[in-house]
Amino acid sequence: MISPYDPELVNPASLDVRLGNELMVEQEEHEQMRKLSIEKFSRESPFYLYPGEFVLAHTLETFKVPSNVAGQFALKSSTARSGFEHLMAGYIDPGFWNSVLTLELKNARQMAPIPMWPGMRIGQIVWTRMQAPPTKTYRETGRYNNDPTVTATKGWL
């Protein structure tokens, strides 16, 4: 269901997920966001998200969620206390397949930048077993399956 799986990421009621190595950042001259690799950054030499800045990021982990399981992403409390906000689009439908989870992150601080680096524990997922599989899973209805990296919007609803 999760690759790469690391038992060290298992908590009593959730699974930690780590930051992947690409972001999508805003550009002054364009409406669309551009990809930016952060693979060369580290805890010792991080990428900084400045106050008010918004990025799309992704999990290091790729998910193959069965049709009888759903998940909910939430920031880790230490990450939120550092000033990160997540824009509440973290529901993982049954059938979310072969994809990383794209995260919508913002620095809510007023004056200080927040460090980011690949592999940092950014959030956690609480998994829920469904009583029964839905009539149609996300494998049939979803637009963000088979996304191997951070993905911008694929259009408005």
Residues recognised as catalytic: 104
For the record, the structure tokens of 103 come out as: 């995260």
Give Cα 113 distance to the centre of its chain.
20
Q: Produce one character per residue of 94-131: b if its CB has 16 or more CB atoms within 10 Å, e if not.
A: bbbbebbbbbebbbebeeeebbbbbebbbbbbeeeeee
Q: List residues bridging with 73 in a β-sheet.
A: 125
Residue 92's nearest CA partner among 15, 4, 7, 12 is 15
For the record, the structure tokens of 135 come out as: 């009539």
CB 62 within 8 A of CB 101: no
